[in-house]
Structure 1
Amino acid sequence: MLLALATAPGRPFHRRIPRIQLRFASKLPQEPKKPRPRLAQPEKAAEPVVTDRWNYNSSSLLEGDAKSQEELAGYRLLNANDLEKCKQPPREVKMLVRDWIEDSLYNPNYGYFPKQAVIFDTQNITFDFGRLRNSVEFQVEIGRQYAKYGADELQGPGRQIWHTPTELFKPWYGIALAKCLVSEYLLKYFPYQDFVIYEIGAGNGTLAMNILDYLRSNHPEVYDRTRYHIIEISESLVKLQKKKLTPFHPCVKVIHQSIFRWDKKEPSPCFVVAMEVIDNFAHDMIRYDLRTLQPLQALVTIDDRGDFDMIYAPVTDPLISSFLKLRTQLAHPPAIPRLLRASPALLKAFSSLPFAPNLSQAEYIPTRLLSLLRTLRNHFPRHRLLLSDFSSVPDAISGYNAPVVQTRFQNTTVPVTTLLVAQGFFDIFFPTDFTRLRDMYEHILAEPASGDLPEAPSTPRLATSSPLALGSDYFSSYHPSNRRKPVDGVTSASGLPVGERKSSVFTHAQFLSTYADLQNTRLRSGENPMLEFYQNVKFLF
């Protein structure tokens, strides 16, 4: 039972799962081969001439059957928005790695989340932690709940089930987050502003239910002023959340939309909650030419038989270029050894060695995370972000900041060694460098928002404060380093425009030790799984 439990969840605990050395084929069982039609060569003006697209050390076991780089490069370039219209995985196309990941995970017709993924749900069962002897017995209880989903079929990928701390430790985990949010609201905005919460990707709706139940029971005056918005991309989860939440909490509004397509501005102070969301945000992949240190963007190609390959071209994508520029401004180094970056002579000598690679290792960059931060800055100018996710992951594929790519097969979670797998049958999730995330977030919030800032509702505090058009140093020439530059018309709890305090990074245990009532999740042995599990998770708040 314990072995089955250790490998059943689709998301890892902090304990490392023994790796099963299997490599899945890049696609499902193939149709019989058909003669390949000869493709017309692309016009010369259609794409810049690129001399190097392949890693010299990369070779195929079927070299004679591989397509030429020119033929692959001539495929149509699509993005994830174009691919939403596809009923089946496309062929004879190419796309950036982030579009490949988004299509694999979120395509409404064959994507992993719409068609395969199931979030572990204990339904109406809450674990009685005080009756459990130790963490081993707790994992046995989790295993019994997993067993209710039934065994996988012997052929093909099994049911893709993964768990979250919200489900394992309900309602106590959700109550800890509620205490965090309501304490900030009471300090800064009550009773002059509504308590506005936006949750991105609410899963089964359990976290929202736990937060709202706590507010109604313990802060009824706050609950009466609460507006809870859920931004959800999955149609099936939208239906589940509405059915679960709206009969009990009329203040809930579920919006079926991707956060990346959000186009409304929220003028009021609000809280944005993102729990285990950004790990599934698509990343781009870049590699550096080790002769010139110029970055190359990776593109996934799919040929006429559905076989995958990867080619590289100079960076032309605006989002990748923007990320690389921001990283330079923040002095975050690329994934190239420091000595090679510092010494051109050493770099030249290294690249001249026999069998030396011409490209650096793969580096996965969080371009979609950058899109989220800019969306928050532009459309939620007075937000406070509460975010939690994995800071490290076991069994990642090769590369810097590389993801875990895994599926369930015959009741066992199997990590694979390549990103190029059948679309929709594999979970792809990334770690987050929270120190870099904090730097990016604070830097972006300091940039001017695009468009005009909506006028905030008038409150007694705002009416008594001087407009910041006089200058952020009107009251004093000193500005604390742990505070953001103030937004015009927004005051602190004291009424002075000193700016919101900057975000901090906390470990999972640090955050819950501050806000959770740990007596409720302590086992008879004295262990506390809510603190001891998920040691590879951090918070930004």
Structure 2
Amino acid sequence: MLHAARALVQRAAARTSYSLSASFATTSTRCAAKGKKSEKQGDIINFNDQYSFTDAPDPEHVNYKRVTANDLEHEREPPRRVKMLVRDFIEDSLYNPNYGYFSKQATIFTAAEPIDFPSMRNMTHFEAEVAERYASYGVDGDGPGKQIWHTPTELLKPWYGRALARCLVSEYLLKFFPYEDFVIYEIGAGNGTLALDVLDYLQEDYPDVYERTRYNIIEISENLANLQRQKLQSAHPCVTVHNKSIFRWDVREPAPCYFVAMEVIDNFAHDMIRYDLRTLEPYQGLVTVDAKGNFSTYYTKVVDPLISSFLGLRRYLNHPPPIPRLLKLSSTFRTFYTNLPFAPNLSPPEFIPTRLLTLLRTLRRHFPRHRLLLSDFSSLPDTIQGVNAPVVQTRYQNTTVPCTTLLVKQGYFDIFFPTDFEKLCDMYEHILEQPLPLAEVERERARLTPLSMTASPLAEGNSFFSSYHPKNRRSPVDGVPSSSGLPVGERKSAVYTHAEFMKTYADLNKTRLKSGENPMLDTYENVKFLF
């Protein structure tokens, strides 16, 4: 489906269930066929689908080595006899340089020529055209197929990228031109198509801005980083590609900048927690891999600092945990409920975006004057069981196969999550309000630009004219007054649906079909923007 998941199939086609080939299905894989078991020797099902402390892994797991995704970066094959947090299992599965999904399996759908939207009769014709272009990648053989997925950047090029460019340049012209350079950072730039479309638009329509543009790409994949350099740097010398994880970024950008993340955070690793239904105490989930490669999960009290930090922030922001109201209100009812025959003693799994929290802290620390433009899925079909659970899927014989468990062979499956944008906005704004360390504040004050109208911090005098501070504005940043000269602070971010954002910034005439339908508005209905 166009707005359902990454792999696009025609709407009329029914999704078929398959039992995956034993060559790449792990011993704990349940995919699509709800746990059909291969007849091959040793291909057993070991998926923990009960909500109980008694579902223990291999007793030898206490002797397994505790590892992180960083520890596994140099491994050539998925490890055995190890245990790790769920976020490390996901991160290793997706990003390991030697066997990760994005390193070895994923292929981004790229149309050689943009689709001629005005020539399309209707959405059915448009979808048939996209399906035909997908077919050009060839027929899958046995085992895992070509892991092809599309993005709106590729499907709607160049008009999608130009809409984002129009959004960014309008903000830049209003606030900083001509006193500051137009600095853009993009993470997860894929094939570089978005950067190309943005820069082509600036070069054609805003040559004065283009001359002051610095476009930085932060890309974890070495293969994609090389592709981006080949595609972009000859046409646009203002591009710099940094082959580095954003989670290891350590360079401070003191200038105003725009930070772009399009369909990136859905693949950020999450942690899994469950609550003891007797005490409502959270427990962190860990994955074990035994000597045969079988997966299991088990739970311990939360001791991981990042998980603890996220849960503390959630309490501060009054985002309640996903526990039924009656259980939260009454310890007597909890005791009665958990003593019922066959009653679970753990809540269903909840997946919490701990890596997203790390990103927001990185932005606060290393990009103190950034403006974030972010877009991703707000909901997804075919998710596995749990709260805020991901879609786990692969392609098999040219068909997208959704799975019912996270515990699948590393590297062969896409794992992507929906995002609660309203909660993300709360968390993001709260983190931006946190004060920087004093030494960093002093460095900010030392940076003088034509926009700095005083040597003293504007924040110190922000109530000189009025004690009122609008709720939709952040606290003022030193040296950045408004156009009126009053330090009223930056406008806070807001959440938009995909259609709302495109109605504001896209040239909709360029993507309108003969029927009047518009793929720019009618697709990606489960996508939102934060800006």
Q: Provide the TM-score with structure 1 as the length reference.
A: 0.90
1:149 and 1:479, CA in 2 relative to 1: closer, same or farther beyond 3 A?
A: same
- Indicate the SS of the match to 1:268: coil
- Indicate the SS of the match to 1:255: strand
Q: Are 2:350 and 1:360 equivalent residues in the alignment?
A: no
Q: Are 2:449 and 1:459 equivalent residues in the alignment?
A: yes
Q: How far 1:140 moved relative to its partner?
A: 1.1
* Aligned partner (choices 514, 525, 535) of residue 515 of structure 2: 525
1:309-354 Cα shifts (integer Å, max 9, x gaps)? 0010000100000000000000001111112111212111111111
Contact 1:13-1:533 within 8 A present in 2 as well: no
**2:313 counterpart residue number:** 326
1:279 and 1:18, CA in 2 relative to 1: closer, same or farther beyond 3 A?
A: farther
Counterparts of 1:276-425 in structure 2 under 5 Å?
A: 276-425=263-412
1:140 and 1:248, CA in 2 relative to 1: closer, same or farther beyond 3 A?
A: same
**1:149 counterpart residue number:** 137
Contact 2:184-2:215 within 8 A present in 1 as well: yes
Q: Provide the TM-score with structure 2 as the length reference.
A: 0.92
CA distance in 2, matches of 1:30, 1:91: 23
Count of aligned residue pairs for this structure pair: 508
Contact 1:14-1:533 within 8 A present in 2 as well: no
Q: Are 2:245 and 1:262 equivalent residues in the alignment?
A: no
Read off the aligned partner of 1:78 and give its amino acid letter: V
Q: How far 1:448 moved relative to its partner?
A: 1.5
Q: How far 1:148 moved relative to its partner?
A: 1.4
Q: Are 2:114 and 1:126 equivalent residues in the alignment?
A: yes
1:420 and 1:242, CA in 2 relative to 1: closer, same or farther beyond 3 A?
A: same
Q: How far 1:84 moved relative to its partner?
A: 0.5
1:317 and 1:492, CA in 2 relative to 1: closer, same or farther beyond 3 A?
A: same
CA distance in 2, matches of 1:366, 1:118: 25
**1:114 counterpart residue number:** 103
CA distance in 2, matches of 1:378, 1:353: 49
- Indicate the SS of the match to 1:82: coil
* Aligned partner (choices 45, 51, 64) of residue 75 of structure 1: 64
1:95-146 Cα shifts (integer Å, max 9, x gaps)? 00000000000000000000000000012x0111111100111111111211
CA distance in 1, matches of 2:366, 2:40: 47
Q: How far 1:487 moved relative to its partner?
A: 1.6
- Indicate the SS of the match to 2:223: helix
Q: Are 2:123 and 1:135 equivalent residues in the alignment?
A: yes
Counterparts of 1:187-226 in structure 2 under 5 Å?
A: 187-226=174-213
Read off the aligned partner of 1:56 and give its amino acid letter: S
Q: How far 1:171 moved relative to its partner?
A: 0.6
Long gaps (5+) in structure 2 = 30-37, 43-49
**2:47 counterpart residue number:** none
Q: How far 1:81 moved relative to its partner?
A: 0.4
Superposed CA RMSD: 2.3
**2:26 counterpart residue number:** 26
- Indicate the SS of the match to 2:173: helix
CA distance in 2, matches of 1:158, 1:303: 27
**1:495 counterpart residue number:** 485
Long gaps (5+) in structure 1 = 34-53, 61-65
CA distance in 2, matches of 1:30, 1:394: 30
- Indicate the SS of the match to 2:315: helix
CA distance in 1, matches of 2:265, 2:3: 23
Q: How far 1:495 moved relative to its partner?
A: 2.5
* Aligned partner (choices 93, 107, 116) of residue 82 of structure 2: 93
